[in-house]
Structure 1
Amino acid sequence: MNRRKKINQLLKANAKKASAKLAPRSSKPKYVSKADRAKLKAEVEQAPVVD
């Protein structure tokens, strides 16, 4: 592999990584751990219901 091809390959790979970072994330919801879900549920149950 000649020098020019190797440099171009590295530059393309770096550009691909940079564009992937800028791309919008998937519509998948963010992961919430089991402990955090239990904590949120406890907070909701303790909160007074306002009508």
Structure 2
Amino acid sequence: MNRRKKIVTKFQKKDKRTNAKLHKSKKPSYVSKAEREKLEKLTDEKVEQTTEQTAEPEAEQQ
């Protein structure tokens, strides 16, 4: 019985691992607080640059 149980559990573990690889979690990965602040600064800079670029042609037209 013990030998059979070892073999069965071995295959169950293998099946469980392959199944886990097939069904990845849809949960987004964790982003640290410092990383979020960096991303926020980058997006703020991009927004400022785009607003400056759109403001320049308006000034030239007038």
TM-score (normalizing by structure 1): 0.70
Aligned length: 50
Q: CA deviation at 1:38?
A: 0.6
Which residue identity lines up with residue 8 of structure 2 in the other structure?
N
> What pairs up with 1:1-51 in 2 under 5 angstroms?
1-26=1-26, 28-47=27-46, 48-49=49-50, 51=54
**Misfit runs of 4+, over 2 Å:** none
Flag the structure with higher helix content: 2
Tell me the percent identity: 42
Pair member with larger Rg = 2
* Consecutive unaligned residues in structure 1, runs of 5 or more: none
* Consecutive unaligned residues in structure 2, runs of 5 or more: 55-62
